[in-house]
Structure 1
Amino acid sequence: MQTARKVLTPDALAMLQTIADTGSFAAAARALGMVPSALTYRVRQMEDALDVLLFDRSSRQAVATQAGLELLREGERLLQEIDAVANRVKRVATGWEPQFTIAVDAIIAKATVMELCERFLEGAPPTRIRLRDETLSGTLEALTSGQADLALGVADLTQNAALHSHLLGEVRFVFVVAPHHPLADATEPLCDEELRQHRAIAVADTISRGRGMTFGLLGGQDVLTVATMQDKLDAHIRGLGCGFLPESMVVDHLATGRLVTRSTVRATRVVSLNYAWRASSSTPGRALQWWLDVLGSATTRAALLQRHRGV
């Protein structure tokens, strides 16, 4: 009988993932260009080596058992580790990261990020850029968990020896509502008790573990939670709720009357945001160095926080 070490190869783990993704042995065989009997034989080899059943074959669908699900989870992690090793080897040889992932917080001006990506790619570097949309704690988590190489818009960055960071800038938040919202005609400054009677609009924290961060929400207040800052802006304009938004994001809408600002008893909130990257004893990769050089410009940093025109 084959041993687990001999049958649990990267190709075999990828094959199991294909079966799970396609939902059947026949579909997986077609996707992999294999004869169905050959695929079934390889799965049985793994099951014999592990002495477990990986897929329930009682129906036409290939449904992973609990043991199968665990192997799929661990297999995905192992495949990612193999890719990471290959990437590190290639980086040592060329100085360029094969892939460079940037976690972009919802508060960052996406148009500016795209312009920077355009400038980066003009040089035709051998690096693929991947952008991740994150919010609040999720932005930092993407970096600390190794899912991103650079994070833009990190708030409340505590001392962490594993990270380097610099100030990106400050963002001033203003309390806004649609002109047809009940609070548009309420007496100012608005107190917490009055705000509690109206629905707040909040952006969901993208952190995968833990409760995440919230800003400006009151206990007992109804909340509409949306996925992005653009969704939050749209909800405000439609009068679906109230809350704080970056002043730079709403300035045009205030000028046209689509939104109005209201003063509250709470002090105006100004948030300091950072850009951060993981510390390393080795020389930074050339892609990371390019982005750090660009972020050294005060004009670029300001544009990332303020150029929300056209949103």
Structure 2
Amino acid sequence: MAFNSDNVRVFLAVLDTGSFSAAARTLGRVPSAVSMTIAQLEAELDLLLFDRRTREPRPTDVARALEPQARQLASQLRQLQAHAQELHLGLEKRLTLAIAPELLSVPWSQPLAMLAQEFPSLDVEVLSAPQAAALRMLHAGEAQLALVFERPGTDERESFQELGHEVLVAVMSPEHPEARTRQDRLSLKDLLDIRQIAVASRDAHGADPRLMVARQIWRTDSHLATLSLVQAGLGWAYLPQRLVEPLVASGQLVEIRFGNMSNQLRLWVDVVWQNDQPLGLGAKRFIELMRQAA
């Protein structure tokens, strides 16, 4: 095969600098070595790449025709070398991030965009799952990081970085019977007997007691499904403030006003990882970018 990483580099250096001597200085070689490399390449290709009848070699039409693909090949080789170096330094092949659905509105995509610029070869997988399921994925090694609310208790298997807080608001449809009759007179105790729609796993294990209030709870696996059921008047829910604000403003939802306390839950948000699993370069950098964004 005529072309290789070395002679492509020399070929492009001569094109860019306009002479064998200038290319040699750029490459840190002697001019005779550059001239010999080009001559060997021409012999193997049986093509004339540079016209040497002038004082400085001039690229032929053949050289200009090969130039775009040569530059593409050089770029691919640089990317390959960079990827190999990243792997050597500890870059994972894939970074999987599990996110609690209520936190999909948290600004995590911009840090991922910055991560993609720094490590373009890194594959990223973003999965949304109820918090208990997201943590199970983390502990099973199916995700390297989980973006979740603070946990009521501590788990010795986990380390975390706090990222700020998210506000959840108790809301229901204005068409719900309770919204019409007792909207301004409800207490948290009253909600025990009103159906709640909650983002939660199928089983109750791992559910956050702060978010599970009513005696009857319909469960979904996404905040959008929960929102749809609430808008249909089927129950009330705690939903992210930034999600429901425009719907409350337009009258599509109403905030449930408690007589004895705030109708908001302010929960801290953490990015969590396993203690016994070393983090890759991408995961470490993402945590840092999230911390900076927070």
1:127 to 96, 99, 122: 122
Contact 1:103/1:132, CA 8 A, preserved across alignment: yes
Contact 2:100/2:130, CA 8 A, preserved across alignment: yes
1:288 aligned residue: 283
Answer yes or no: is 1:242 the counterpart of 2:236. yes
Partners of 2:135 and 2:222 in 1: how far apart? Answer: 17
Per-residue CA distance 1:150-188 (angstroms, 9 max, x = gap): 111243164444432121222222221111111212333
Answer yes or no: is 1:173 the counterpart of 2:168. yes
1:227 aligned residue: 221
Aligned residues: 206
Whichever residue aligns with residue 143 of structure 2, its letter is A
Contact 1:99/1:129, CA 8 A, preserved across alignment: yes
Q: Pick closer, same or farther for the CA change 1:90–1:229 going to 2, 3 Å.
A: farther
Shift in Å, 1:144:
2.1
Per-residue CA distance 1:5-54 (angstroms, 9 max, x = gap): xxxxxxxxxxxxxxxxxxxxxxxxxxxxxxxxxxxxxxxxxxxxxxxxxx
Matched residue SS, 1:275:
strand
Partners of 2:165 and 2:137 in 1: how far apart? Answer: 22
1:205 to 192, 196, 201: 201
Q: Pick closer, same or farther for the CA change 1:161–1:241 going to 2, 3 Å.
A: closer
Partners of 1:131 and 1:206 in 2: how far apart? Answer: 21
Contact 1:107/1:229, CA 8 A, preserved across alignment: yes
Partners of 2:176 and 2:159 in 1: how far apart? Answer: 43
Percent of aligned pairs with the same amino acid: 20
Answer yes or no: is 1:105 the counterpart of 2:106. no
Contact 2:149/2:267, CA 8 A, preserved across alignment: no
1:15 aligned residue: none
Contact 1:155/1:271, CA 8 A, preserved across alignment: yes
Contact 1:178/1:184, CA 8 A, preserved across alignment: yes
Shift in Å, 1:238:
2.1
1:132-211 counterparts in 2 under 5 A?
Answer: 132-156=127-151, 158-187=153-182, 188-191=184-187, 194-205=190-201, 211=205
TM-score by length of 2: 0.61
- Please tell me the root mean square deviation across aligned C-alpha atoms, in Å: 2.9
Structure 2's unaligned 5+ residue stretches are 1-83
Partners of 1:149 and 1:280 in 2: how far apart? Answer: 11
Partners of 2:200 and 2:102 in 1: how far apart? Answer: 12
Matched residue SS, 1:225:
strand
Partners of 2:213 and 2:110 in 1: how far apart? Answer: 34
Partners of 1:266 and 1:139 in 2: how far apart? Answer: 33
Structure 1's unaligned 5+ residue stretches are 1-88, 302-311
